Amino acid sequence: MSGCVAVAGLGPGDDRLVTDEVRAALADATDVVGYLPYVARVAPREGLILHPSDNRVELDRANLALDIAAEGGRVVIVSSGDPGVFAMASALFEALERRSDPDAFEIRVLPGITAMLAAAARLGAPLGHDFCAINLSDNLKPWDLVEHRLKLAAQAGFAMAFYNPRSKSRPHQFARALDILRQECGPDRLISFARAVTTPEERLETMTLAEAMPEMADMRTMVLVGNADTRRVGQFVYTPRSAR
């Protein structure tokens, strides 16, 4: 066993949502690897080397972690949210698969509070029945597949959570996604925009699909769409446990 790599979820932002398991891994680490804003959430200390990297270099980052571990380091790769949900865990296994010695590493995945569940908790319980999670970015899959999934998810009656709904480089796709949802679910279906949940910049908005505008989402926004039974109670939005 040449070294160990833990890929850890820091949760959505609030330090009170970091698990003790993740804290213990960070306290024991020699090296922390990750996207710059996530590494910035780790308190510096003597004996801990921070390796912040840029966005969209997930495989390079995973390989850096494996290289350091191969030299005997105890490495933690930090993700926001949960590392297994559109984050670094899959990238680590992709990198591991390409190495000649995948069994030489001790790998641990340390779960965290993923953005959709933090957003759902702040909104009420919009994911209280069967639901799906879709990454709306077409960096790693064709946009046609996103459209296909949106249609089938709506026909299945899933509540839906969308990660990476809209970026500056592809502003029109989320508009198209809203069009598909209006067509499949009707104009009265509830949609919530939850931005930067559990941080000082948190902003929560719920409205009908008819009222939703593409500009309401950016890359720090989770978008949640209810199923046909999703409704408001007071300031909250929730999906009942039962379905017809």
Tell which positions 59-98 bind a copy of itself, by CB under 8 A. 82-86, 89-94, 96-97
Map tokens 């040449």 to a residue.
2
- How many degrees, rounded to 5, is the angle at CA 183 between CA 181 and CA 188? 75
Can you read off the two tokens belonging to residue 60?
């390079």
Figure out which of the listed residues 37, 171, 186, 240 binds a copy of itself, where binding follows CB under 8 A.
240
Asked if 122 interacts with a copy of itself (CB under 8 A), we say yes
CA 56 to CA 54: how far, in whole Å?
7
Map tokens 């949802």 to a residue.
181
In the complex with a copy of itself, the residue whose CB is nearer, 164 or 221, is 164
61 residue type, one letter? R
Asked if 106 interacts with a copy of itself (CB under 8 A), we say no
Q: Looking only at residues 131 through 150 of this chain, which bind a copy of itself when binding is defined by CB under 8 A?
A: 131-135, 140-142, 145, 148-149
Figure out which of the listed residues 125, 175, 204, 228 binds a copy of itself, where binding follows CB under 8 A.
125
Class of residue 140 by CB neighbours under 10 A (exposed 0-12, middle 13-18, buried 19+):
exposed
Q: x-or-dash pattern for a copy of itself, window 7-46, by CB under 8 A? A: ----x--xxxxxxxx--x----------------------
In the complex with a copy of itself, the residue whose CB is nearer, 46 or 241, is 241
163 residue type, one letter? Y
The number of angstroms, rounded, from the C-alpha of 124 to the middle of its chain's C-alpha atoms is: 19
Figure out which of the listed residues 28, 71, 103, 188 binds a copy of itself, where binding follows CB under 8 A.
103
- Count, residues in the chain: 244
